[in-house]
Amino acid sequence: MGRIISALNDRKVFDTLNRSSASEGGYITNVSDEYNTVIATVNATAVIENGSYYVGGQPIRAGERLALRLPDFYGDALITAVKVKEG
């Protein structure tokens, strides 16, 4: 699936809902003291098939989830952006 060329490791940010009343309620942004979010930029060579890009048989599209395995880590990742450099 390619190589990580940069990674930004930060506390996980998540929203909770305040339902106290219609006037005071709304989403509250929280910062987790337990979990982190890692935003990694990965460089890989893709093949194009029917207008889609594939790396290792996996379609590479923003919004797709994929199982990511590193030498010492295995987890679920969400593709958030795709940039294509032709050639």
What residues make contact with other proteins under the rule CB under 8 A? 17, 19-22, 25-27, 50-53, 59-64, 80-82, 84
Quote the least distance from Cβ 11 to other proteins, whole Å: 18
Quote the least distance from Cβ 16 to other proteins, whole Å: 12
The 3-state secondary structure of 10-25, one letter per residue = EEEEEEEEECCCCCCC
Which residue, 30 or 52, is less far from other proteins as judged by CB?
52
Under 8 Å between Cβ of 7 and 42: no
- Cα 3 to Cα 49: distance, rounded to the nearest angstrom: 22
Which residue, 7 or 70, is less far from other proteins as judged by CB?
7
